[in-house]
């Protein structure tokens, strides 16, 4: 490689455990990130939302119904939205049994609990601001919590934290509040829009099926918010053949529920 863009295109992709190693442990829980760490996977991804009383918690859906026993514990509170339950109520829920009886008693982590475990495990975090339209001001709150947990120092910002969202507005707010925080836009923007997004993002993270080597090359040719080529993490890649294919496109990272499968696939290239 002779240019930064070419260097980016040729490096081996990093692996990100999607919602933790979520094929093997309940998504977005502490056991899921412990499993990623045990597999030696450097990055974990999560989804952050807010409770009725303003606490930040880690959960993917805007409802608690799929991944907890909320319907049994709080019948009559349908549709069991995260934003309609207090943190104390959510702390009573079982977020593991739906996945396997082995995980009975696993809780929905608060973001603070989650950050401490990521730090303890020496992991890196791809933090998704989920459904930000439901939670006005959540970006400022997330940054405040990250600062309190010691995650906004130079060491963490250099290579241990990325904040992403499907909402360009939310990513723009994060960048405006603290331009030092690496950011990513989820989705696959048209090539013509990349320069506009690049004023406040460092990465573009698309669904892998929308990618081509040409598109990844185009993204790499644009300088991001920190004056380095925009990077690309592709999601969600769970099969070895697909991992090899997207690695061949030159992506910088692969987000997967099965990080061991992707790692073995990349090792066999």
Query: In the complex, which residues of this chain contact ligand G3P (CB under 6 A)?
Result: 18, 45, 47, 60, 128, 186, 205, 235, 255
Binding pattern to Ca ion, positions 2-41, x when CB under 5 A? ----------------------------------------
Dihedral sign, CA of 110, 19, 44, 252?
A: negative
User: 10, 60, 120, 175: which one is catalytic?
Assistant: 60
Active site residue 156: no
- The site partner of 49 among Ca ion, ligand G3P, none (C-beta below 5 to 8 Å per kind) is none
Question: What is the longest distance spanned by two Cα atoms in the chain?
Answer: 62
Q: Which of 159, 231, 228, 182 is nearest to 11 (CA)?
A: 231
Q: Which is nearer to ligand G3P, 5 or 63 (CB)?
A: 63
Smallest separation (angstroms) from ligand G3P to the CB of 155: 23
Smallest separation (angstroms) from ligand G3P to the CB of 127: 10
CA–CA gap between residue 77 and residue 98 (Å, rounded): 19
CA–CA gap between residue 135 and residue 132 (Å, rounded): 5
CA–CA gap between residue 154 and residue 46 (Å, rounded): 22
265 three-class SS: helix
* Contacts (CB under 5 A) with Ca ion, residues 58-117: none
214 and 204 Cβ atoms separated by less than 8 Å: no
User: 10, 18, 122, 156: which one is catalytic?
Assistant: 18
Q: Which is nearer to ligand G3P, 5 or 19 (CB)?
A: 19
CA–CA gap between residue 53 and residue 202 (Å, rounded): 32
Q: Which H helix or E strand runs over 127?
A: strand 124-129
| C-alpha distance from residue 260 to each of 35, 69, 99, 142, 197 (Å) | 10, 29, 19, 30, 32
Q: Which stretch binds Ca ion (CB under 5 A): 43-51, 80-88, 103-111, 148-156?
A: 43-51
Active site residue 60: yes
For Ca ion, how many residues bind (rule: CB under 5 A)? 2
Smallest separation (angstroms) from Ca ion to the CB of 128: 4
Q: Which is nearer to ligand G3P, 58 or 90 (CB)?
A: 58
Smallest separation (angstroms) from ligand G3P to the CB of 261: 17
186 three-class SS: strand
Contacts with 9 (C-beta within 8 Å, 6 or more apart), sequence order: 1, 216, 217, 220, 250
The one among 20, 28, 41, 47 contacting Ca ion by CB under 5 A: 47
Instruction: Say whether residue 202 binds Ca ion (CB under 5 A).
Output: no
Q: Which is nearer to ligand G3P, 5 or 233 (CB)?
A: 233
Q: Which is nearer to ligand G3P, 18 or 175 (CB)?
A: 18
Catalytic residues: 18, 60
> Where do contacts with Ca ion occur on this chain (CB under 5 A)?
47, 128
């Amino acid at each position: 490689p002779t240019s930064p863009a070419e260097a980016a295109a040729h490096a081996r992709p990093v692996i990100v455990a999607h919602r933790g190693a979520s094929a093997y442990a309940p998504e977005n829980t502490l056991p899921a990130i412990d499993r990623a760490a045990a597999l030696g996977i450097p990055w974990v991804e999560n989804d952050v939302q807010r409770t009725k009383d303003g606490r930040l918690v880690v959960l993917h859906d805007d409802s608690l119904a799929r991944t907890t026993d909320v319907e049994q514990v709080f019948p009559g509170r349908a549709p069991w939205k995260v934003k309609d339950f207090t943190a104390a109520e959510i702390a009573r829920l079982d977020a593991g049994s739906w996945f396997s009886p082995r995980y009975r008693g696993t809780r929905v982590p608060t973001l603070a609990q989650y950050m401490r475990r990521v730090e303890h495990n020496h992991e890196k975090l791809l933090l998704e601001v989920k459904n930000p339209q439901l939670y006005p001001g959540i970006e400022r709150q997330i940054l405040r919590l990250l600062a309190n947990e010691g995650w906004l120092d130079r060491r963490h910002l250099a290579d241990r934290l990325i904040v992403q969202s499907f909402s360009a507005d939310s990513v723009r707010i994060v960048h405006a509040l603290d331009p030092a925080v690496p950011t990513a836009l989820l989705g696959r923007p048209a090539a013509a829009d990349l320069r506009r997004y690049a004023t406040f993002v460092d990465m573009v993270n698309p669904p892998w099926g929308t990618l081509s080597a040409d598109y990844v090359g185009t993204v790499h040719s644009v300088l991001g918010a920190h004056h380095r080529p925009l990077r690309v993490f592709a999601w969600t890649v769970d099969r070895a053949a697909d991992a090899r294919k997207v690695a061949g496109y030159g992506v910088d990272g692969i987000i997967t529920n099965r990080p061991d499968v992707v790692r073995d696939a990349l090792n066999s290239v």
